[in-house]
A and B are shown apart, each in its own frame.
Chain A
Amino acid sequence: MSRPSRAYIAGAYEHPTRHAVGISVAQLHADVAKGALADAGLTKDDVDGYFCAGDAPGLGGLSMAEYMGLNLRYTDTTETGGSSYVIHLGHAAEAIAAGKCSVALITLAGRPKMANSGPARNYGDDTPDAGFETPFSPTIVNNYAMAAMRHCHEFGTTPEQLAWVKVAASHHAHHNKHAVRQEVVTVEDVLNSPMIADPLHRLDCCVISDGGGALVVVSPAIAKSLGDRCVKLLGQGEAVKHLNGGKIDLTYTGAAQSGPIAFAEANLTPADMDLAMIYDSFTITVLMTLEDLGFCEKGQGGRFVADGNLISGTGKLPFNTDGGGLCNNHPTNRGGMTKVIEAVRQLRGEAHPKVQVPDCTLAVAHGTGGQIGTRMGSATAILGRNDA
């Protein structure tokens, strides 16, 4: 059978750099755009829709359209942190289905390791939550740690179970020559690494890297002309989750909303997935997201990820086969893009042979943005091989 798809991913490209010396942020965006267009077999003159988020320099879509010499009839600069690019994927498909564009380019790039990199968020005085949070010294890690602490309290999740997420990622990164951390680590290695913010150790945290990535999304008609490397977008869902006026619940993520929307649109379930690409800013992010997407019961994420269950070739659910943000890269602290790119490689059968999922037909890619302990964006995409 062949499932219906409103749009296809025709091109995907991940910048090989992890430390962008001598490259501007604008050039990084253009380099990944060029790579994704070449991968698709298209040129920049074919692009009529452009999508970017807060990492794009200047006035976002306007500045980058000028830099790259694009002539556009559609643009979208939705900013939801690291989930932005999975949201752009859905918005691109909607724009294509509505006839507003036919070749949509999505770019992400940045160099947080280099000088002049701003904070993850702009805490200007007009930010309504800033006065009530910033003075207490929240950081990205202790924000996620508070969600992790509550999860451990309510469900008995253990540091050992969290560590298994990192262990699985490291097994995959071992085969990725571009990965920042290529060494295989053990549960003990994670638990013996310095405690940063209880209960998260250093190895529970993602890497920081420069780099970027891009996607080219096209209409079914154009996909037909480009051949069978095009990947189907079968479903997509979004969510914004926040502190709800102080009536808080930090035990779940926005994936509890975005996942069911995406799976329903695709008419598929988590059990149908051959691969899960899950934004992994921290180990807890993966554990909670897998629960919320429905791969296991709420509270059972610790048991689900333990004992190598996420390792390609041995576990039941291969995840983040490029090594993910925990080991491979985390361009400009925004991991949604790279989740989609590795899913595309897998669905084309072009992942590293040591991590390629046999007959990979269906995959889920999930992006998380903002912070899991306060306010966050979530986006889920269900992707299928060309013949899925």
Chain B
Amino acid sequence: MSESERSYPQPSVTVETQPFWDGTAKGILLLKRCRDCGETHYYPRALCPFCFSGETEWYEASGQGRIYTFSVMRRVPAPYVIAFVTLAEGVSMMTNIVDCDLDAVAIGQDVQLTFRETEGGYALPVFTPVAA
């Protein structure tokens, strides 16, 4: 079985995170930024984890990122890459690297946003290497 044949579990969605998942369904990655201190945080919260302001707002990420770290999960029927990707907006998120050569993934590699459908209808934000 290859990565492309993997099935992705549905995320747990709360009233706080519904807009994020509505966004991925439309093919966009939404981040939260604090109106008071200006910092972007991840995962998105109602309260800013840096200054504790309740004034946080959604905005669309550029979809550009770089691999901070990763690991190839080998001992499973469909090996896959788990990673932390640092977004152009400055925060890092746990994700998968897809449509890639498992043995060519590297820290520092530039990646761009794409999506994978889940078993439950929501889409997951994942990343694929930018062609050199």
Contact = CB atoms under 8 A, between A and B. Distances in A.
Interface of A: 123-139, 142, 145-150, 153, 194-200, 243-248, 250, 373-374
Given A133-B94, A135-B10, A247-B91, A149 B45 contact: no
Contacts of A137: 9, 73, 80, 82, 96
Contacts of A123: 12
A134 B71 contact: no
B71 A245 contact: no
A244 B12 CA distance: 21
A131 B91 contact: no
B107 interface: yes
Contacts of B68: 150, 248, 250
A194 B93 CA distance: 28
B43 A246 contact: yes
A196 B107 contact: no
Given A133-B94, A246-B93, A149 B41 contact: no
A129 B43 contact: yes
Nearest to B41: A245
Given A131-B11, A137-B82, A245-B41, A145 B93 contact: no
- What 7 A-B pairs are tightest by C-beta distance, nearest first? A246-B91, A246-B42, A145-B71, A245-B41, A132-B43, A150-B69, A131-B11
A195 B102 CA distance: 13
Interface string B1-45: 000000011111110110001000000000000000001111101
B72 A198 contact: yes
B82 A146 contact: yes
A249 to B, nearest CB: 9
A244 B9 CA distance: 25
B124 interface: yes
Nearest to A123: B12
B95 interface: yes
A373 B93 CA distance: 12
A196 B41 contact: no
Nearest to B34: A245
A149 B71 contact: yes
A128 B43 contact: yes
B121 interface: no
A138 B94 contact: yes
Contacts of A145: 71
Given A146-B71, A150-B68, A132 B11 contact: yes
Q: Which of A195, A196, A243 counts the most B-chain CB atoms under 10 A from its CB?
A: A243
Nearest to B13: A131
A199 B83 CA distance: 13
